Amino acid sequence: MSSVCHDVENAEGLVRKRGVVLSNPITHCSGKESQVFTLDDAIETLGFGKFHWLLLAVCGLSWWATANIVMTISILGPSLQCEWNLSMWEIAIISSMFFTGQALWSPLWGKLADIYGRKVSVVLGMLSTFYFGILSSFAPAYNWFIFLWFLIGGSASSFTQTTTLFAEFLTVKIRSRCIINFGVTWSFGMLTMIGMGVLILPIMTWRWFIFISALPVFVIFFMTFWLPESTRYHMICGQTEKAIATLEQISRFNGVPLPAGTLVASTKQEVLGRIKDLIVEKQRRTTLLLWFIWLVNSFSYYGMVLLTTEMMKMPNSCAVVDDVHSEASNCISPCRFLTTKDYITIMWTTFAEFPGIFIGSVASDLLGRKPTMGLCMLIFCVCSFCLIACLERTMITMLLFVGRGMILASFMTLYVYTPEVHPTGIRALGIGTCVACSRVGTILTPFVAQVVSTRVAAAIYASLALLACISVLFLPKETKGQRLQDSSVGHSLRLEMMTDGEAPLEKCTPHVSKNVNGQSSSGLSLKSRIAAVRESTI
């Protein structure tokens, strides 16, 4: 798949960009100066305003829709078991097929987002998710159902790229809080499905439940057309004019002027979204550790979601003997629907995610990304070990409450750390491969949470969480307070600008200056800014 990035020339034909600048340069020509600013300067100046609230709403609804889909699998298990007389293994395969689709498709969506843009990936994913979701409500048999949920999982994995898109518009100061607060919409999505389960499943079939839950995705699909393309993607592709147009749109929405001067691009990359760039010497250690940490976080989080449903079926954690539970996994289990009491208990454990999100949001800015992930994983590990003991339902609920909140806090901090540690050219692919690795964990977790005994499952979750906590310590970089990287390779600073029909401005010698001081924008168009630069060189 070839890149669509190419050299561009502005509409006026006055300036053709041959090179790029990595910092804020001031060019000296005949004793005069012309001021320029980088994309980071523009983003920091524009801050967080109406534009970002709208972007947060659309991206947040994408997360809400994804949570709806994930929770649907957990809630529908008993209904599908009664419909097709399924064994515990067959119930577990439904979840695994969904996550297999995510594992296989996530890197493809990431590569698509790096090459053709983040918006393209999100819009196409929304449409395909709705289409396959509606089809699954008409599935005539079990085999068709798991195949369609494989396609739904693959399509829904594109929603991860909303994180990439949103992160690339945020300032350093608020990036962590904004991305972690995506977890609020995720948790509301979980609660929405629980509420729909209470209202719909007792009076309608599971087919109507899936059909109704797919309709919001169709609405969100149309909303995603408003999404702007990432300015960082445009800049690294050399499409400076499109980046300027988006920045001017943000400026109008937020009522904040852009910095004075001319926008200068970061290093242009001809080839984007290459897997091998993730495992070069500089990135290899970070990539491999993140793949494992994502795997364990996802394995543990979705394990808690599924394990909660399983543990609510019994009065205490020792109610089912290990060998009986193991034999039942190979047979057709008795048909049992979730009761209202079960739904309420599941809802209470879901509410644990809100304090977890708050803790992650505060701690990631105060302590840093790495300490937050490590501490939350450690607390989750302790809660999981405690579930090994024979406990009453009240104590089980409390441990599930704390454990689920902590694992989500760690998971959401990972969503902050991963785009910060990857450069723009492979950022979407980096997140995509991490999601793919995480889905390996979610493919396996149903067979742990729903097949083996709950005490053995708790021991497995605790052990892997401890290993992930240790792995966090070996991550080479802390990203708190740092700007997003545009390139992973050092380049010499240069500025080569050519006027239409004229020789190159060879007398202009760039040098690195300090950040452009906050100044009111002149409000000039690109043509006017270029004219000002040309005038300064005369």
- Tokens read off for 359: 């803790």
Asked whether the predicted pLDDT for residue 502 surpasses 60, the reply is no
pLDDT score for 269: 56
Cα(100)–Cα(481) distance, integer angstroms: 35
The two three-digit tokens of residue 137, written as one number? 């409500």
Tell me how long the chain is: 538
d(CA 451, CA 116): 42
SS3 476: coil
Residue 534: what pLDDT? 40
- What CA–CA distance (Å, rounded) separates 119 from 142? 34
Residue 1 confidence class, pLDDT cut points 50, 70, 90: very low
Mean pLDDT across the chain: 77
* Residue 265 · residue 240 · CB < 8 Å: yes
Rounded to the nearest angstrom, the gap between the alpha carbon of residue 476 and the centroid of all alpha carbons in its chain is: 21
Q: 324 or 302: which carries more pLDDT confidence?
A: 302
Q: Please tell me the distance from the alpha carbon of residue 274 to that of residue 291, in angstroms, as a whole number.
A: 17
Q: Taking phi first (over 0 means left), then psi (-120 to 50 degrees means alpha), and beta for anything else, what does residue 368 get?
A: left
Residue range 81-98, pLDDT digits in tens:
888 888 878 887 887 888
Mean pLDDT, residues 221-247 taken together: 88
CA distances from 241 to 8, 245, 496 (A): 8, 6, 17
Intra-chain end-to-end CA distance of the chain, in Å: 44
Exposed/middle/buried for residue 177 (C-beta within 10 Å: 0-12, 13-18, 19+): middle
The answer to whether 367 and 375 have CB atoms below 8 angstroms apart is yes
Which tokens sit at 401? 């409450």
Q: Which of 71-75, 471-475, 520-524 has the highest mean pLDDT?
A: 471-475
CA 385 to chain centre: 29
Please say whether the beta carbons of 420 and 484 come within 8 A: yes
Residue 23: how many other CB atoms lie within 10 Å: 16
| DSSP structural state of residue 468 | H
